[in-house]
Amino acid sequence: MMNNLMRAGLVAVVALLTGCVTPPQKNVDYTAFRESKPASILVLPPLNTSVDVAATAAVLSQATLPLAESGYYVIPVGVMEETFKQNGLTSPDDIHELPAVKLREIFGADAALYMTVKQYGASYAVVASTVTVSIDAELLDLRNGAKLWSGSKQVVHANNNSNGGLIGMLVQAVVDQVVNNLTDRSYSVAGMTNAQLLSAGTPGGMLYGPRSPRYEAQ
Amino acid sequence: MITHNNNRRAGAARAGRLLAIAALAGVLSACVQQPKSMYSWQSYQGSVYSYLKDDGGDYATQTLAMEKNIETARAANAELPPGFRAHLGMLYMKMGNGDKGVEQMQGEKAAFPEAAPFMDFLLRNVGKPQTVAATDAGTPATGSPAAGSPAAGSTTSAKPAAAEPAAPAEAGTLKKGS
C-alpha cells in the first residue's frame, strides 16, 4: 500500500536518475554545432561596453574553466593576449575584426568565442549594493566561419551573499584566490556569469566537447 | 489497530518525504554541474587575471604559486588544466629562463595535442638570437610572448623586424585587411 508522499519520493528519485541527461532546449538549432565538432576554442579578448576597464581581464581569465570542464581545449588566454600585444593588437575591437583564417593559422583552434561584456560592477543603494555582470557570447567555426552557438547571461549578486547559487559556490570552491588576494566581488560574479553562460548541458547552452565523458552521450 | 495503521502511514509519509528531500538535494548537487572536476584549477585563472590586469603582474609570485599547484595536483593525481603549462612557460621566458619555458610549452603540447599549432608557432621563435629588442641581457632563448618587457608591447611597427623574434615579425600579417 503506497502512500502518496512515498510515490512522490519515488518519482523524485526517478527524476534524479533521468534528470541529468536533459537534452538542451528544442528551439535552439544545434545542427551546425554538431557538424562542426570543435575540439579547441580560442576565447578572444571580450569587447567591453561596461564602464569598468577591469571587465575584460576578469571575464577573459575566467572563461577557460567552464569551457575546459565541458570538454574543450582552450587556447591559453594569457599567452594569446601576449601574442596579440607583440603584434601590436591591444584593442579587442581590432582583434574581433581579424580574419578567421589568420586566427586559425596562428592558434590552430577549431572555433573562436567572441564575447561582449555589457555590464560589470557594483551599483550602490541605500539598503544593499548589488554587483551585476552581463555577457553576450557567440561561437564561430574558424574553419568555415559558420556560427555554431550564441548565448547571453546576466548575474545580479546581492550584498548578503545568499544569491550566488550552487554554480557560484562551486566556482568559488575550485578557484584558488590566494595568489591575487582578490577581494573584488565583481571578479567573483564574472566567474559565476561565465560558468552559467559557458557550461555545457544547460538549456540552450553549449554542447559538450570531445574531452568530456558526456560527449558521446549527448 | 487504528493507531498501528496511523503509525505505519506516518512512517511511510516520513520515508517519502526524506526520499524526496534526498532526491532534490541530489538533483541540485549532481545535475547543476559535474560533481567532479576534470582538472585541478587552483591558481591558474587567478594568475592569468593578475597577468592581464596588472600588465604582466609579478612573474616570480605567479610562477612560485603555479609550481606549488603542480605538486598539489601530482599528489592528488589530478590533471592540470588546458593552458596552465603554456602560461607557466611564458612566465619563465619572461624571467629569462628559456629552457624551463620551452619545457613547459612542450609539456602543454604533450598533454593536449590540440595545443600543437600554437605551441609550435611559439617554439619556432625560441633559440633565435634576440638582439636589439632584448631588455634583459643574457637570455638566449626567448619565445614570442617573452620578447621585451610588457611595456614594450605598445610599440610595434616602429621596431625593426630583424631585431624581433619571428612571432612579432609576423606583425602586419595579423592586421586586418591583409
For the stretch B154-168, pLDDT in tens is: 433 433 433 333 453
Does the residue B155 lie in any domain? no
User: What is the pLDDT, as a whole number, of residue A92?
Assistant: 97
CATH code of the domain containing B112: 1.25.40
Does the residue B109 lie in any domain? yes
Three cell numbers written together for A109: 583552434
Alpha-carbon distance A183 to A177, whole Å? 9
Torsion of CA A77, A79, A68, A29, to 10 degrees: 50
Alpha-carbon distance B118 to B87, whole Å? 12
Of B12, B45, B145, the CB nearest to A61: B45
Regarding whether B64 and B139 lie in a shared domain, the answer is yes
Q: Taking all residues of chain A, what is their mean pLDDT, rounded to a whole number?
A: 83
Contact B52 A57 (CB under 8 A): yes
Question: How far does the CA of residue B23 sit from the closest CA of chain A (Å)?
Answer: 5
**pLDDT cut 70: percent of chain B above it:** 51
E-assigned strand segments in A53-200 = 73-74, 111-123, 130-141, 147-158
Provide mean pLDDT across the span A191-212.
Answer: 96
Contact B43 A73 (CB under 8 A): no
Regarding whether B50 and B85 lie in a shared domain, the answer is yes
For the stretch B91-105, pLDDT in tens is: 999 999 999 999 999
Does the residue B157 lie in any domain? no
Beta bridge mates, A113: A43, A139
CB proximity under 8 Å: B 16-35 to A: 16-20, 22-24, 26-34
When divided into structural domains, chain B yields a total of 2
Give the lowest-confidence range in A171-175, B41-45, B158-162.
B158-162
Chain B residues with CB inside 8 Å of A40's CB? 114-115
pTM assigned to the model? 0.72
Helix (H, G, I), strand (E, B) or coil at B104: helix
- Counting one residue from A and one from B, how many pairs have CB atoms under 8 Å apart? 232
Closest listed residue to residue A202, CA positions, set A107, A54, A70, A62: A70
Locate cell 534526498: which residue? B22
- Measured CA to CA in angstroms, residue A169 lies from A14, A66, A133 at distances of 26, 14, 16
CB proximity under 8 Å: A 108-167 to B: 108-109, 166-167
Closest listed residue to residue A82, CA positions, set B140, B21, B27, B142: B142
Domains, chain A, in order of start with CATH, read: 25-198 (3.40.50.10610)
Of A54, A107, A180, the CB nearest to B117: A107
Provide the domain limits for residue B91: 44-144
User: What is the pLDDT, as a whole number, of residue B169?
Assistant: 35
Regarding whether B111 and B88 lie in a shared domain, the answer is yes
Alpha-carbon distance B12 to A10, whole Å? 12
Q: Taking all residues of chain B, what is their mean pLDDT, rounded to a whole number?
A: 71
The confidence band for B44, taking pLDDT boundaries of 50, 70 and 90, is very high
Chain A residues with CB inside 8 Å of B25's CB? none
